[in-house]
């Protein structure tokens, strides 16, 4: 065996070894946490939002209003087609037995609603789960939350878990 053949063999083996981790590594995404301070008030006439240093947002109602509506983007990792459901959460606190209600909506890149899931809680501290079919979450789709936040309520943040 001449030296060129040995060199070519070694280079070939090195290329296979170098590419092996790329082939064997699965696609992986972690949880993405987003603070409530990214939310925008859809009904500003209802009162004001206090942006809290811990990333949450508290609603203080004007007289005659019991709640406000918040629109919140939910970043996610668009992994492409997958089997099963993707999980999203919205966290916060209710004051005095009030209820927070939220819908998570998925929109196509041109603004067409693909799916919407509703959940609510009257617990003092809540961790609302939402399960959305992966088929509704193409890489080009956007995820948004629309929440009704009661007076004194705090929306701490949203999570997407792929």
Q: Taking residues 145-161, report their average pLDDT.
A: 95
Is the residue at 7 inside a domain? no
Is the residue at 137 inside a domain? yes
Domains: count for the chain: 1
Is the residue at 24 inside a domain? no
At residue 137, the pLDDT reads 87
Is the residue at 11 inside a domain? no
The domain containing residue 150 runs over which residues? 29-161
Is the residue at 9 inside a domain? no
Would residue 55 be called left, alpha or beta, if left means φ above 0 and alpha means ψ between -120 and 50 degrees?
Answer: left
Q: Which residue has the tokens 């606190």?
A: 93
Q: pTM for the whole thing? A: 0.79
At residue 138, the pLDDT reads 86
130-143 pLDDT, tens digit per residue, is: 999 888 888 889 99
The answer to whether residues 67 and 61 touch, using CB atoms and an 8 Å cutoff, is yes
Is the residue at 113 inside a domain? yes
- Tell me the C-alpha to C-alpha distance, in Å, between residue 22 and each of 1, 25, 27: 31, 6, 10
CATH code, domain with 87: 2.60.120.260
């Amino acid at each position: 065996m001449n030296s060129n053949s040995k060199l070519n063999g070694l280079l070939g083996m090195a290329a296979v070894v170098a590419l092996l981790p790329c082939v064997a590594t699965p696609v992986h995404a972690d949880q993405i946490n987003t603070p409530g301070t990214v939310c925008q008030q859809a009904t500003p006439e209802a009162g004001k939002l206090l942006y809290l240093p811990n990333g949450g947002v508290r609603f203080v109602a004007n007289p005659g209003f019991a709640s406000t509506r918040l629109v919140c983007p939910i970043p996610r990792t668009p992994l492409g087609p997958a089997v099963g459901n993707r999980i999203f959460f919205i966290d916060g606190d209710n004051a005095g037995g009030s209820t927070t209600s939220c819908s998570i909506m998925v929109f196509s890149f041109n603004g067409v609603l693909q799916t919407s899931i509703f959940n609510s809680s009257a617990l003092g501290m809540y961790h609302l789960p939402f399960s959305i079919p992966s088929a509704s979450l193409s890489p080009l789709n956007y995820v948004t939350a629309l929440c009704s936040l009661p007076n004194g309520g705090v929306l701490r943040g949203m999570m997407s878990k792929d």
